[in-house]
Structure 1
């Protein structure tokens, strides 16, 4: 009954929001009509109805194929990592690098090195891999050991335990990962289309419509992209509900549990060196086997030569440092604001669920709308200054952080909460002294998760709106055919995300060890 009441309340809030939107749009109260009424957007969609089928088909085909390939690889990788824990440590660097890849930075590279649908399929596959792989590893690792002992007692080995116990127990986690991964595939395909120069795809249609500055058409394209991403999420939510008999909260684990197997110091050093070197080996292999000319494709040594040895290296470094000085502070402030907003919402979710029901429809809308489609709409509303960058950065960081923080606060044992209540503590005192400290590991996990998302949000805003920072440098380099800078921006973006990720991880380990708390991996 409570679940049905919550769903009814959510639907009621959506209806109220759409009605208010219609009134505001009709009266032109926001940015002189930059927020058009839903009825006007629908009329424009109907007028443009002949344009959409081939664009939608191209985007759905690319994202769907990438989603399939990426998830098959992710589930197989999760199986291998659980059965052979050493491979998990060895490939940790590759996994984190894939997680930290800003799609906007590698989309131009994929369009330079691959042809046809390959760039959008590849970017969609990369967007789903880490999410599903992490969910698979977590699901296979957290199984009922008593059931495993029963299988072993009857002569079953590790593979039998995997097939009869672990795989079945991991179904909820894998389905949760697929729900999160599905919109990521749509975003990846649209980003590849946006910079690929192809004729068909919502990204190409959006790029062709930006020059007209028609808010009705831009909102229409954005809503169509949102519907595709939202439906892809909803499909797996429905499958999860039907298969499992219940809906489960989505949990994106931002790291992978450390395997319990003991290794010698030499073994640990070898695996650590391998984890560092393998991403660069994969980079070199990609450039080598695609057969792209050296002038276009740059190996790690080629990037080093471009940035430190070549005749124009001093100018390249100057441009890069200037762009970093513009991007990193905004990304940091946006990430902090996004985390703060997520923390506030998580506390309100525990103390006043009605507030969350009012905010959640807007939050889900901003999460399912691909960033490339959301950015031009925000430009219409707030202009091309830093406000649009902050809006986008907060939008892409707060929701996953909110999910993790809600999970952390809600997992406080009831027996722990009974003690302050017995002494007459208020709800706020209970939250401040018990629930929030208990959720500290989840706050660190949320921080690790939001680092690459914050950088991605800022770069997309710079690319499409503000004309500053790394995003603008990437865009200019494409126009000047400065392939060395394109590869440099991509590699520096990944290295920054990975470095900050590991820095947060070390701070987390030290802090929680001092407090005697356990990490949330």
Structure 2
């Protein structure tokens, strides 16, 4: 059956490539905006001598950032589970790091640092939140009975972590690493695209955008896709070798719930501290980096820019108008992306052959750098809402799908045997057991999708539509209006935090009623 599935996948891909070749040769899409695969390969062959230094520069920055970002993420995830109070205090910083748009941070990093540092920082930031969330989710969902056994034999907190929780969390952590690998590549390319450096696929892309050669743009995009795809495949192989034969033996009993402070005053202090820490971190980081005062906007300087300066009314008006254009598309794109991810995850259980055939296409949409794909999509779809929706869904659904599919796959066979014994079919098993048991992963994927949806909309606005926060950011870069750059970055972070907290509130209510672990 597995061999037949692979043959079916290859057949489907063959049909797709033949249709693509015909469409490209006949220039049926926007007069050649979608070139034939043979034309892309021919251009790659002609330009191949240009690629090695660019590819190596991107791999170097992405790899170092990947290692640093994921090491910090796993360490932070362990810390947050062992000491839940630290997770609550650091929540604001965690969300801010994930929600901060790379296109806003890139020019500041390029001016402040030299060499590979901007690429490494953006690649690390792109990895951190995803792997940290996967680590926390995996550790929190450890079967209580496994923990009780270790404790019964005298195991302390660290032995419980090593012998029970880390082993249970390994599939979830590896799932996070698979998602983080393409993000590291995208982060490095966005840093390259933002300026600085002589080599890198982002640098090569800048020099190719104005030539009107879609085959070259597709070639650069496919080169980046290949790098990200190989990284994704490597961790998929590692996951299959380490966890492919292992599944949960029992349904997780009530997993450790988040420790809450007792007393209204203490609880209020913790919430206020979690809100204040990102601003303190922002202030200290600017001071430590030595960023020039003209570029670095501290919280008081930004407050003055928005509320006390003579141009404050104009600045606030621009910001409000841009936000009104970005916010609706963010909500719509996030909803569509999550719905598509959920349907695809359910399909991975009911129709795994179809999903396996679709996965290469999904990976391409995830790993092809948006700065290369967006101009091509503009040629094919125009500059309206459709291109924003396409880009937003493409950057939202894939990590959400991987997280949801991971949760569905970890539901125990023993739990499914009960409805089977009563004659329940696959759909009823999903409704009664599989979906309820995987709710922590569904909510985790929703938390991941919130900042990514906003980032997707802003990238589309920045490169394509000339509207919204993304376009305001682009204009501000051209005018060297660093106050507005920081204002857009802070507003985007605050918007993501609001959405994130709404998801956490719903998650805590739903999972607490089911005796499951709420979000950390």
Q: Same fold (TM over 0.5)?
A: yes
Are the structure 2 counterparts of residues 149 and 429 from structure 1 closer, same or farther at C-alpha, using a change threshold of 3 Å? closer
Instruction: Report matched runs for 1:11-26 at 5 Å.
Output: 11-26=10-25
Cα distance in structure 2, aligned partners of 1:470 and 1:116: 29
Structure 2 stretches lacking a partner, 5+ long: 249-254
Cα distance in structure 1, aligned partners of 2:356 and 2:459: 29
1:448: which partner in 2? 447
1:305 maps onto 2:304 in alignment: yes
Contact 2:175 2:406 in 1 (8 A): no
Residue 84 (structure 1) shift: 2.5
Contact 1:131 1:181 in 2 (8 A): yes
1:74 maps onto 2:73 in alignment: yes
**In the comparison of the two structures, how many residue pairs are matched?**
510
* 1:86-132 CA-partner distances (Å, limit 9, x unpaired): 21222122112222222222222322333322111111111111122
Contact 2:139 2:166 in 1 (8 A): yes
Cα distance in structure 1, aligned partners of 2:256 and 2:145: 20
Cα distance in structure 1, aligned partners of 2:244 and 2:504: 36
Of the structure 1 ranges 359-368 and 218-227, higher mean CA displacement relative to structure 2 is found in 359-368
Are the structure 2 counterparts of residues 64 and 442 from structure 1 closer, same or farther at C-alpha, using a change threshold of 3 Å? closer
Instruction: Report matched runs for 1:348-359 at 5 Å.
Output: 348-359=347-358
Aligned-partner SS, 1:292: coil
Q: TM-score, normalised by structure 1?
A: 0.88
Are the structure 2 counterparts of residues 87 and 5 from structure 1 closer, same or farther at C-alpha, using a change threshold of 3 Å? farther
Aligned-partner SS, 1:107: helix
Structure 1 stretches lacking a partner, 5+ long: 250-255
* 1:167-220 CA-partner distances (Å, limit 9, x unpaired): 444333322221111111111111111012432111111111111120110000
2:28: which partner in 1? 29
Cα distance in structure 2, aligned partners of 1:365 and 1:188: 16
Of the structure 1 ranges 332-341 and 387-396, higher mean CA displacement relative to structure 2 is found in 332-341
* 1:461-481 CA-partner distances (Å, limit 9, x unpaired): 111111111111111111111
* 1:389-440 CA-partner distances (Å, limit 9, x unpaired): 1110121122233344555666494356448846xxx877776788777777
Q: TM-score, normalised by structure 2?
A: 0.88
Residue 378 (structure 1) shift: 1.4
1:272: which partner in 2? 271
Cα distance in structure 2, aligned partners of 1:517 and 1:165: 20
2:366: which partner in 1? 367
Cα distance in structure 1, aligned partners of 2:226 and 2:456: 21
Instruction: Report matched runs for 1:130-209 at 5 Å.
Output: 130-143=129-142, 148-149=147-148, 151-152=150-151, 155-209=154-208
* 1:335-358 CA-partner distances (Å, limit 9, x unpaired): 222233334434544544454344
2:83: which partner in 1? 84
Instruction: Report matched runs for 1:225-374 at 5 Å.
Output: 225-246=224-245, 258-260=257-259, 263-374=262-373
1:40 maps onto 2:42 in alignment: no
Cα distance in structure 2, aligned partners of 1:430 and 1:240: 26
Cα distance in structure 2, aligned partners of 1:498 and 1:261: 20
1:399: which partner in 2? 398
Are the structure 2 counterparts of residues 126 and 338 from structure 1 closer, same or farther at C-alpha, using a change threshold of 3 Å? same
Of the structure 1 ranges 113-122 and 482-491, higher mean CA displacement relative to structure 2 is found in 113-122
